Chain A
Amino acid sequence: MHDVATDTAIKNAFATVSFKQKRKDAAVRWTMRIATYFILACAFFVFIDIISKGAPVILDRGLDFFTKNPETLMVFETADGTEHQLGYSDFVVWKDNNPDQEIVEQHGYTYCGGGILGPVVGTAFLTIICIVVALFIGLTSAIYLNEYSGKGKFMDMIRLAILNLAGVPSIVFGLFGLGLFCLAAPVITNEIKEGAWHIPLLSGYAISFQGWGTSMIAGGFTLAVMILPVIITACEESLKAIPMGFREASLALGATKWQTIRKAVLPYAFPGMLTASILGITRVAGETAPIMFTAAMASKATLPWQGLEGNVFERFFGFLSQSVQALPYHIYTVAARIPQSEYTKPMQYGSVFVFMVIVMAFAAMSIFMRIHYRKKLKW
């Protein structure tokens, strides 16, 4: 006779039967968990590395890091055996003040001294031009696509083109910007370049398709074209999120199409557009390839608003058509284009740290705005 009592004590009616399935389940769960933690680990490592090595640079160099342009870092040893590190301008001053000190050994590390004022300012202007251009074109085309255009093969093609644009590598955008904006865009000038196709205007001036040259405006436009797909998609999604009822109600009250869009759609789509656009902008601010050929230069003594001459228009165009330093390009330069040594590291980490803080501030702003408007606008 079977002992029922001991049997049930050993075997629960719902005890695991298939250990194979259980193991499979656990394996899948752990694979996914590890993949997720891997991302976290990468982010953590990047942040810790940059903060731990970048923040001390800022503390060490102080305000100079934000108020000076990049310059050559002079590393020299005096006769008494002490080593000095000074930016070139400080080095000159130091030499004047200490004529009696004999310099035994002296090295120069280009771009590694001074601060990053020029690149920060340049990136700011490039980004502003990009925002203005990209928001205008992106917003208008998103409104057209979502509110005015019907459906059809042609519209599908346009959407496909926009999606494809998002997949184009940034270096290709750089070359495209070089070809279109730097070398072929129209300018009004009285100095027509040899061989440039032009339409003559009054008194020696002409619209000449000779390009804008390597300039802030060419870089801004190139970045704008690059970010357009993101902006258009974001704006369109925001417009799509507005209930049809708002439009219908407005139209039924005798509003025109444009009145409806302006008063019953855009105000409510605007926050979404803005937050998404800011995120897009942070991406643009970090791009190197598109501005490499179109706008950026490694070193420049003056800030964009310095050294402009002529009347208001000439100054304005002079301002837009100069090339600038840019933070991502500066990082690329100090990290990859000059010989590496322990003396180049502070500039690298300092620049990256500042850059990261700026970008993260933008991203945080966008998140904050989204939360703020979500609370305010609900339907």
Chain B
Amino acid sequence: MSAISAGTEKTVGSQKTEKPEGAKKSLVIETNEVSFAYDGKKDVLKKISMQIFAQEVTAFIGPSGCGKSTLLRNFNRMNDLIPTAKITNGHISILGSDIFDPMVDVIELRKKVGMVFQKYNPFPKSIYENVAYGLRIAGENRKSVIDQAVEESLQLSGLWEEVKDRLDASGMGLSGGQQQRLCIARTIAVRPEIILMDEPCSALDPISTAKVEDLITQLKEKFTIVIVTHNMQQATRVSDRTAFFYLGSLIEMDDTTKLFTNPTQKETEDYISGRFG
């Protein structure tokens, strides 16, 4: 595995985050000099190159407006919702395929790349129907299959014991933390390979946050997780690798412990020591 040279040209080669030889982690997401503009002209992401590996939690950190959520929303092409937005340079390949290839069906991509949003957004349906939603739209009608998937997903998300007696109750009647875990259950019900999390805890209280963080740690055995967070402690708690973004550039990406204890870039050091951002 080659070195990951991240970010702006001046930083190229200045840090090497080598995966130890013999590491079995396989490459899941790779971006190659990706630039992106919401209006098609002004780049808000600048030549981002990074690699994300399977069964790891990768955290994106950086001050507001640095482009971390934007990049995340490119991984499942959520930015397609904005008509003028487009990739102005480079490629993103996920599981070996270029996701901006004209042949790509975003529906198929999104089935493999799930997303959990900042503001928990269960549908105003029952808990059961929330989890079953992805299966139903994929055309699954067999009750036994859906029943099983709902139970499995709720168990994986740690919600099963709390809600198993009231699956017919509205998903919106749950507490905030439970709602967010319901959204995670809804996402994993369609069996994605990758789960993107866009600040999943920013609307939650500390106890709910701790539960979701535990969940993330458990889920990484089955899924590849990319999480955007404003909370640096959270990044250190849950992630294996961390990428630091600043002004649309990837400044540094490394093992989380290394990045937080021994950053190679001055901007990273300034940010994690709280001097800006």
A residues adjacent to B (C-beta < 8 A): 150-151, 243, 245-246, 248-256, 259, 263-264, 268, 377-379
- The residue that A253 contacts in the complex, of B81, B119, B124, B187, with Cβ under 8 A, is B187
Minimum C-beta distance from B75 to chain A (A): 11
Minimum C-beta distance from A286 to chain B (A): 35
CB atoms of A253 and B110 under 8 A apart: yes
Contacts A253-B110, A253-B111 supplied; 13 other A-B pairs, CB < 8 Å:
A150-B83, A245-B121, A248-B78, A248-B117, A250-B123, A251-B78, A252-B78, A253-B134, A253-B190, A254-B107, A254-B108, A255-B137, A377-B124
| CA of A248 to CA of B78, assembled, Å | 8
CB atoms of B172 and A252 under 8 A apart: no
Minimum C-beta distance from A156 to chain B (A): 15
Chain B residues whose C-beta falls within 8 Å of the C-beta of A249 in the assembled complex:
117, 121-123, 183, 186
| CA of A248 to CA of B183, assembled, Å | 12
CB atoms of A251 and B119 under 8 A apart: no
CB atoms of A254 and B138 under 8 A apart: yes
Q: Does B76 contact A (CB under 8 A)?
A: yes
| CA of A378 to CA of B172, assembled, Å | 8
Q: Does B260 contact A (CB under 8 A)?
A: no
| CA of A249 to CA of B120, assembled, Å | 9
Chain B residues whose C-beta falls within 8 Å of the C-beta of A263 in the assembled complex:
133, 136-137
| CA of A254 to CA of B186, assembled, Å | 12
Chain A residues whose C-beta falls within 8 Å of the C-beta of B111 in the assembled complex:
253-254
Give 13 CB contacts A-B under 8 Å: A245-B119, A246-B121, A249-B121, A249-B183, A252-B187, A253-B134, A253-B137, A254-B137, A254-B138, A254-B190, A259-B137, A268-B124, A377-B124
Q: Does B114 contact A (CB under 8 A)?
A: yes
CB atoms of B110 and A243 under 8 A apart: no
Chain A residues whose C-beta falls within 8 Å of the C-beta of B114 in the assembled complex:
252-253
| CA of A150 to CA of B84, assembled, Å | 10
Interface centre among A243, A246, A249, A379 (most CB of B within 10 A): A249
**A263-B133, A263-B137 given as contacts; is B115 within 8 A of A252 (CB)?**
yes
CB atoms of B121 and A243 under 8 A apart: yes
| CA of A256 to CA of B134, assembled, Å | 11
Chain B residues whose C-beta falls within 8 Å of the C-beta of A259 in the assembled complex:
137
Chain A residues whose C-beta falls within 8 Å of the C-beta of B122 in the assembled complex:
249
**A150-B83, A263-B133 given as contacts; is B186 within 8 A of A253 (CB)?**
yes
Chain B residue with minimal CB distance to A252? B115
Minimum C-beta distance from B114 to chain A (A): 7
Chain A residues whose C-beta falls within 8 Å of the C-beta of B187 in the assembled complex:
252-253
| CA of A249 to CA of B134, assembled, Å | 10
Chain B residues whose C-beta falls within 8 Å of the C-beta of A248 in the assembled complex:
78, 81, 115, 117, 121
Chain B residues whose C-beta falls within 8 Å of the C-beta of A245 in the assembled complex:
117, 119, 121
CB atoms of B124 and A379 under 8 A apart: yes
| CA of A263 to CA of B116, assembled, Å | 19
| CA of A268 to CA of B107, assembled, Å | 23
Which positions 81-137 of chain B face chain A at CB distance < 8 Å? 81, 83, 107-108, 110-111, 114-115, 117, 119, 121-124, 133-134, 136-137
**A248-B117, A264-B123, A378-B124 given as contacts; is B78 within 8 A of A253 (CB)?**
no
Minimum C-beta distance from A82 to chain B (A): 68
CB atoms of A251 and B110 under 8 A apart: yes
